[in-house]
Amino acid sequence: MAGPGLGNVVQSRHGRQCNTLHHRLLDFVNIEIDCYGPASRWCGADRLTLELPGEALVGDALDQLAARYPEFAARRASIAVAIDDAIVSTQAPLNAGNRLALIPPVSGG
């Protein structure tokens, strides 16, 4: 299906329909990432910004971090992730302006 100058209608990864031109124009989002505790050492900074595809999931952000930072990659499975103060799964969708927090395991006694 196509409209004048709109491109073809496609099914997005999350089941939404959109036209391909619109999809290309809104294809990337910037996500802020706060690295707490040793995560800042593993990623080389206290705060990072990632540019991700518009329909990215938390797992996609973690994949990108793991590809860039080997120390993070080695510990990825033990990190909890929060979006705006709520712990989320790797399948949670990301939106422009989200702030991710990387929360490493904590021990104490």
Whole-angstrom CA distances from 77 to 7, 71, 72 are 40, 12, 9
Question: CA-CA distances (angstroms) from residue 99 to 22, 33, 44, 86, 90?
Answer: 25, 6, 18, 11, 14
94 or 22: whose pLDDT is higher?
94
pLDDT of residue 10: 44
Question: Does residue 6 contact residue 19 with C-beta atoms inside 8 Å?
Answer: yes
pLDDT tens per residue, range 10-59: 444 444 445 444 444 558 889 999 999 999 999 999 999 999 988 899 99
Domains: count for the chain: 1
The pLDDT, as a whole number, for residue 23 is 46
What pLDDT shows up at residue 28? 87
| CA distance linking residue 98 with residue 92, whole number of Å | 11
CB-based contacts of 11, cutoff 8 Å, min separation 6: 17
11 in any annotated domain: no
Interval 96-102 mean pLDDT: 92
Is the confidence at residue 67, as pLDDT, over 80? yes
| CATH code for position 43 | 3.10.20.30
Task: Please indicate, yes or no, if residue 10 is contained in any of the structural domains.
Answer: no
Q: How confident is the model at residue 64 (pLDDT cuts 50, 70, 90)?
A: very high
Domain span including residue 46: 28-103
